[in-house]
Amino acid sequence: MFAEFLNNIILYPFFITLVRLSGIFATAPFYADKGVSPKTRLAIAVVLSIAIAPAISNFIPAIPKSVGLLLLVVLGEFFIGLLLGFGAKLFMLAVNICGDFMASMMGLQAASMFDTRTGSNTTSLSSMLSIIALAAFIALDFHLYLLQAFIESYNIIGFNKAMDLGEVAAAIILTVSKAMILGIKMSAPVVVTNFIVNAALGVLNRLVPQIHVFFISMPLTMLTGIFILVLSLASMLILFTEEVENNLIIFSQEVD
């Protein structure tokens, strides 16, 4: 009797909570940062699962009778966690899109580096903007919004329920399009300004062929881009944080 109580009321809710939370820790910004050791992330996930499990134990039914059903439940819970974390990660990727656009217009696309946080090559400008965006993400408690969305997911999605793959695909496509638009909006001041500078240099080259425009354009576009970036960085962060906040609030709201 005590063993059944221990499994159904304590161990099983903790285990299932840890499975769904592991999906978030595998993809979400801040939680999935590779700069933090896997042991530390696992320890944080275990502590959070212990704290959250009592609040959601009412949503979790009894342990499935067969191992096959239990495996399906585990895979489903992990997939839901992945979706929650991936939705937030897409908006962090918008910062990388913004940085790559600006770097290409400023002539900095060759200045690539290995980003230990993402495990891939990226431009130095993109890496810098990602660190700034992540700092804003943490400073405005967006990582706590993710935990709130995780808890509310048991109200919205439920437990051990089949998800409409068409709706999931549509939500992913919509989020990707929002992230792309956000990245383009954030990079617009630098991209548009450098486009005008390059157009003006092209006209100058036609009017005065004796001027070596190529040797002028590289430092000019770089300095212009850095100047506009410094002026517009605050506005870029405001646009980024507003977009992320609006979408995280949608994730954490209960739908009828």
116-166 pLDDT, tens digit per residue, is: 666 667 788 888 888 888 888 888 888 888 888 888 887 777 666 666 677
Return mean pLDDT, the chain.
Answer: 80
Of 6-10, 98-102, 176-180, 220-224, the poorest mean pLDDT is in 6-10
124: domain range?
2-110+118-252
What global pTM score does this model have?
Answer: 0.76
Q: What's the pLDDT at 160?
A: 62
Calpha distance 82→159 (Å, rounded): 15
Is 198 a residue whose pLDDT tops 80? yes
- Residue 256 confidence class, pLDDT cut points 50, 70, 90: very low
Percent over 90 (pLDDT), the chain: 5
Report how many domains make up the chain. 1
Whether pLDDT at 2 is above 50:
no
The top-scoring range by mean pLDDT among 27-41, 133-147, 228-242 is: 228-242
More confident residue, 118 or 235: 235
pLDDT tens column, 94-109: 888 888 888 888 877 7
pLDDT greater than 60 at residue 255: no
pLDDT of res. 188: 92
pLDDT at position 7, please? 54
* Residues 218-227 pLDDT 10s: 888 889 988 9
Q: What confidence score (pLDDT) does residue 3 get?
A: 46
Residue 237 has pLDDT above 60, yes or no: yes
pLDDT above 80: residue 229: yes
- Contact between residue 21 and residue 48 where contact means Cβ atoms under 8 Å apart: yes
